[in-house]
Amino acid sequence: MLIAVLQVVAPILAPPPIVQVATPAPPPRIVARAALHHEPATRPFTVHVDVQAEGRTLWSGPLRVARGSGSTIRHEQSEPPETSCGVDAGYLRIRSTGLSINLSVAHHGDGAEALSATVRWTKPSGAGCPHLGGTRTVELTDVVRLAPGATVTLSGDGGLTARLRRSGD
């Protein structure tokens, strides 16, 4: 009888059989790859910019650029016009102007360094009365080779010019 009891109780007290489970593969590792076209870093250099239109200087000054670090300057202004014409007639009384300059280093397949320049000028659409608040925008975008000490003048519509002079490094 003891043997009969042990045959009934032993399977209950015995540990469960060991089940082997395959270890899952580790998750994929994400590794940063080197740039496809590795280019050596460039030292920052200064470009003196002179932007003119309508016979006056809109902005003049130095901007520093390097590969991966361009320069941007923006100026926007909205204000009532100098004269109060049209106030009684309900005309919109706002005069908007703006200028933005963006320079960055550009590279082409031949590995030569170039300068990408974008100049955007916004001015009121008309002068005099009544001023309805419209604007006109001229944008000049170009890529130029600019060796140390060299000067390039870019010309756009509406008499917009941008003179770029690279420092001698």
Region 133-160: what's the mean pLDDT?
91
Q: Output the pLDDT for position 15.
A: 66
Region 12-21: what's the mean pLDDT?
68
Residue 46, classed as helix, strand or coil, is strand
Region 128-137: what's the mean pLDDT?
72
Residue, of 25 and 43, whose pLDDT is higher: 43
Say if residue 51's pLDDT is above 80: yes
Domain ranges of the chain: 40-166
| 120-to-32, 100, 112, 161 alpha-carbon distances in Å | 37, 5, 26, 11
> Are residues 152 and 48 in contact, defined by beta-carbon separation less than 8 angstroms?
no
Say if residue 33's pLDDT is above 60: no
In 80-160, the DSSP E strands lie at 95-107, 113-124, 135-144, 151-155
Say if residue 148's pLDDT is above 50: yes
Say if residue 41's pLDDT is above 70: no
pLDDT per residue over 99-125, tens digit each? 999 999 987 666 667 999 999 999 888
> Are residues 97 and 122 in contact, defined by beta-carbon separation less than 8 angstroms?
yes
Q: Output the pLDDT for position 36.
A: 46
Q: Strands 135-144, 151-155: parallel, antiparallel or unpaired by DSSP?
A: unpaired
Say if residue 55's pLDDT is above 50: yes
Dist CA 85 CA 131 (whole Å) = 8
Radius of gyration for the chain, computed over Cα atoms and rounded to the nearest angstrom:
35
pLDDT per residue over 75-88, tens digit each? 998 887 776 665 55
